[in-house]
Amino acid sequence: MPHYQLVSSVHALPPAQKYSSSFAWVHLLFLFGLICASLQFVQIGPAKPIQIWLICAISALAFSKKISVSLSEAYAFAIFFLVSSAATFFQDFGRIKETDQLVKFLFIYPGFYVVGKSLGKIYYNKNLPYGFLFLFIFLGIQFVIQQVQPPIIYQTLSFGQGALHGTFRERNWISVFFFGFSYILWIKNKSTSNTALFIALTISVTLLSGSKSMMVAAGIAFLAHAKLPVWARSAVIIVGIMLYIYLFSDSLSGDKLEVRLKTERGLAYEQSILLISDNILGYGFGFVEYHFSNISTIIRGLGLGTNSVFSSPIDLMIIAGFTGLAFWMVFFLGIGLGSTKWVAPVAAWSVINPLHQSETVYLLLGILTALSLAERNQAKRAKAKKMSLRRPIAPISGQTKNDNHT
């Protein structure tokens, strides 16, 4: 009778391999990038430390032939940039710092995404050069820095008083940093201990920074990836919702919520929708800051010094119309890249925050997309191997099916 051999399909990341001396430079590059990403008040000439790191990272990875970009990513980016550039140069609207935005979207943001994809491909089956202990210690360092307030690396903010921001420009960016890199750690190894550490770090950063969005993103990640029975995941989510209500019910109800809707995000949303409906092709780079600093309606958080509205998909639509929305759907939602399940927490966060203006976010998106692609390719190879092993073994020449074997 036919002989079959069965193999189980792959649904998780493979066991991580230990460090190799040939990859020591990659570990150091990654760790140095984490440090540079946190030094957001430091300026070295016209550049920030993380931008200087980007130049070094791209050079090193390109020299090692570890850079890879898919055609769908290249097309999505090229179309978005061409449309947004045309809207910038061929429309007569007032603008502020449009050149900075052009440089960021042409070189800096895609550069971080490409570096992230390269690092994700490298570390798919290797241990990351940091762990939860590193992140907890680094969080403690951020807390100490805010208490000591050393010059150069720290500045006191005029908003978010009492919230931890450390060496980051605001509490939203410190929470994005810790969520993103802890999420990558956890998604590579969803053991019970790592799950507990992921939850503990999320709660710790939320309590210290007051970030509401971090718990929402963590909840989405937990629902999508946790290796727990449905009842256990549901229980954790219910506890998370109760904690969220306990921590933030005061700011999400009554007069405070009404103020935010009438003078901040709600009003910004109304004005943004009006802009999009008036010009579905987009206004190009530099328009948002000029527009909201010159209208009669005062919107808290928008105006001089703010180059985007509070929502990534909406801001990208203001820049490039439906092409901007397509850009968000590809890179933030993973449409066409097969990474939706992996990037969904970041996509949800970006709906209510301008994450498309963060270098760190593009680095994270690149890593998550590469991990997703590597897992999917491994699953396909395992399935193909399984099917090949299920085929009947051809009888040896001269044998018949009725031959007896000893």
Task: State the pLDDT confidence band at 5, using cuts at 50, 70 and 90.
Answer: very low
Q: Give the tokens for residue 159.
A: 């908003």
User: Pick the residue with more confidence: 208 or 23?
Assistant: 208
Residue 2 lies in a domain: no
Q: Which is nearest to 314 in space by CA: 259, 272, 346?
A: 272
The pLDDT value recorded for residue 167 is 96
Using the predicted structure, report yes or no on whether residue 280 has a pLDDT greater than 60: yes
State the Cα–Cα distance between residues 269 and 260, nearest whole angstrom. Answer: 11
Residue 394 lies in a domain: no
- Residues linked to residue 17 through DSSP beta bridges, in sequence order: 126
DSSP-derived secondary structure for 96-120: SSHHHHHHIIIIIHHHHHHHHHHHH
Residue 276 lies in a domain: yes
Element housing 289 (H / E): helix 287-292
Residue 305 lies in a domain: yes
The pLDDT value recorded for residue 27 is 93
The pLDDT value recorded for residue 175 is 96
Range of the domain at 150: 71-385
Q: Which of 258-262, 265-269, 274-278, 299-303 has the lowest mean pLDDT?
A: 258-262
Tell me the pLDDT tens digit for each residue of 93-140: 999 999 999 999 999 999 999 999 999 999 998 999 999 999 999 999
Task: State the pLDDT confidence band at 10, using cuts at 50, 70 and 90.
Answer: very low
Say if residues 52 and 44 touch (Cβ distance below 8 Å): yes
Work out the mean pLDDT of the chain and round it to a whole number.
86
Q: Which is nearest to 32 in space by CA: 171, 167, 140, 129?
A: 129
The number of distinct structural domains making up the chain is 1
Residue 45 lies in a domain: no
Q: Residue 140: CA atoms inside 13 Å, Cβ hemisphere, count? A: 6
Percent of residues, the chain, with pLDDT higher than 70: 87
Say if residues 36 and 49 touch (Cβ distance below 8 Å): yes
Say if residues 271 and 310 touch (Cβ distance below 8 Å): no
Residue 25 lies in a domain: no
Over range 245-259, report the average pLDDT.
Answer: 70
Task: State the pLDDT confidence band at 14, using cuts at 50, 70 and 90.
Answer: low
State the Cα–Cα distance between residues 12 and 19, nearest whole angstrom. Answer: 20
Residue 294 lies in a domain: yes
Tell me the pLDDT tens digit for each residue of 29-73: 999 999 999 999 999 988 999 999 999 999 999 888 888 888 889
The length of the chain, given as a count of residues: 406
User: Pick the residue with more confidence: 21 or 176?
Assistant: 176
Tell me the pLDDT tens digit for each residue of 352-368: 999 999 999 999 999 99
Residue 171 lies in a domain: yes
